[in-house]
Amino acid sequence: MLLVVVLGALALFAGKAFTVDDPLFLWLGRHIQTDPGDFFGFLVNWSYTPRPMYAITRNPPLTGYYVALAAAVVGWSEYALHTAFLVPAGAAALGTYGLARRLCSKPLAAALIGLLTPVFLVSSTNIMCDTMLVAFWCGSLWCWIRGFDLAERHEGDRSHHGWLLAGATLAALASLTKYFGVALIPLLLAYGFARQRRPGPWLFSLLVPLAILVGYELATASLYGTGMLRGAASYAIGPASLRASPADRLVVGLVFAGGCLIPALFFAPLLWSRQVRAGTGAIVCLLVAHVGLNGRLYTVPFLYLKDWPPAIGLQLFLMALAGASLLALAAAELRQQRTPESWLLALWVLGTFVFASAVNWTNNGRSNLPMAPALGILIMRRLDLLARSRAEPVRWQWLAAPGVVVALLVAWGDFHWANQIRDTARHLSGRYVDEGHQTYVLGHWGLQFYMEEMGARTIDYRRDRIIPGDVLVEPGFSSYKRSPEPDLVTLLQEHRHPDPIWVHTMSPKVGAGFYASNVAPLPYAFGAAEPDVYWVWEAKKDFAFPRKARRSPIEPQSGAGF
């Protein structure tokens, strides 16, 4: 039933266009098909000028190998690859169910609550590494817990060592899928000490992921002159992550965690007393007011915030409440039970939250995804405690429906946005790509991918020289783009997609920045907004872009993120 529901929901979006960072994984898969030993050994134009892939990407190559294998079997179309990526989504669902079966009394409900969330549905309809990380993460934890369970039940039986080794190996694979998977190693270590209270032979299993990661670091240093782990860590905690105040980061962290895992809001009336809800709401109000008085939220200045309708402020407040409820679940778990499983769940949630909100260069939905399986388990464990203290049964089923509706709507909004970009790219390419002149793309993400497929070229701002008659396609919103000076070009067309979107995942106009919170401080937003605009320019003079240009204050950096 779990697989039918989760994979059925994801299958609704199998025709989704490639979007945001998908092209990086597609190009990586194509290169691996021809040179699997030198996985990052090619150039990609993702930030002003072509650079080596190892200097652009902040993700390890395992998902690229999966893309290469899947494409060799089913092809490169959107339907084919999205269908292939149902496999890691199904593995994540089964891993979540296995953990929930061990940790709470209603594993199916816990798995559905955690997986039918905005962050899981949106992330699992992309060709990226995040859902595969969750699959390895849950599998690692399940094997690790099972190993300790067998060790306690059958003293002297050494079969449990195999389960511990399997858990450690899956942790290594998680780390080679996305670097945040390294966090599994201290999590496994903490659970081991909580179960055993002392060091033991189980510690040797953790040498496996450490050895694999050291080998990976040495191999990439030999291939590319720099270790990928060290480079990713430097990027994650670099200067971009220090621009926001702690209060900004806390508010945006709560908003992203709560919005991505919105069931925490709908279950709150049942999980917490009226006094706790009132106190939490007051604290969240004070935090949001403090940030608002400073004139900016995270890296988005107030001149953009003031144009948002009041409904956006209400959504921000409700998402922050949901995030506070999620953290309260982790804290209450430790305060009331203090079992090894409580420590595991609390550290799982709090560690992911701290990384996403206080360490990583920007918050985003994908950084909050690893908390999704823990959400459902924590809710069910909390309900189990409430059921034992009440005479009448706890009626919780009706609270699950709103979260599912929101998740499907957000996934549809992201699906529609991605497809609009693909439609625009094909329309503009069919009209302006011509052998008589060069057509340049001034942005990235899906627009770049599809226009290059149709014969356009992504501009090299440092080397390309524009000649009269060349056509430049400029998106109103994209990463690393510059605009031509008005006296150098003639406007041929201003294109807007005719279909409106009412649910947004990437739109600074309404405060949505699912893939990067430096765009906007909500992971998604409901509300009307004008479609994205695209300008088509024709060069009337010979010119080159200046080597340095001022960037828009809401322009996101590369989405290659950690």
Provide the pLDDT for residue 559: 45
Whether residue 560 has pLDDT greater than 80 = no
The percentage of the chain sitting over the pLDDT mark of 90, rounded to a whole number, equals 62
Structure tokens at 391: 């005479």
Break the chain into its structural domains and give their ranges: 1-236, 239-395, 411-497+532-539
- Please tell me the distance from the alpha carbon of residue 150 to that of residue 142, in angstroms, as a whole number: 12
- Please tell me the distance from the alpha carbon of residue 414 to that of residue 549, in angstroms, as a whole number: 30
Q: How many CB atoms lie within 10 A of CB 438?
A: 19
Model pLDDT for residues 365-389, shown as the tens digit of each residue:
999 999 999 999 999 999 988 877 7
What's the pLDDT band for 394 if we cut at 50, 70, 90?
A: low
Taking the model in full, what pTM does it have? Answer: 0.92
What's the pLDDT band for 53 if we cut at 50, 70, 90?
A: very high
Provide the pLDDT for residue 553: 41
Q: Are 470 and 438 in contact (CB under 8 A)?
A: yes
- Please tell me the distance from the alpha carbon of residue 206 to that of residue 188, in angstroms, as a whole number: 8
Alpha helices in 104-159 (DSSP H): 107-115, 118-124, 130-153
Model pLDDT for residues 268-310, shown as the tens digit of each residue:
988 888 888 888 888 888 777 766 655 555 555 444 555 566 7
Model pLDDT for residues 202-250, shown as the tens digit of each residue:
899 999 999 999 999 999 999 998 888 877 776 666 554 446 677 778 8
Structure tokens at 253: 């962290």
- Helix, strand, coil fractions of the chain, as percent rounded to 5: 60, 10, 30
Q: Is 48 left (phi over 0), alpha (psi -120 to 50) or beta?
A: left
Whether residue 551 has pLDDT greater than 60 = no
Alpha helices in 390-497 (DSSP H): 397-432, 445-453
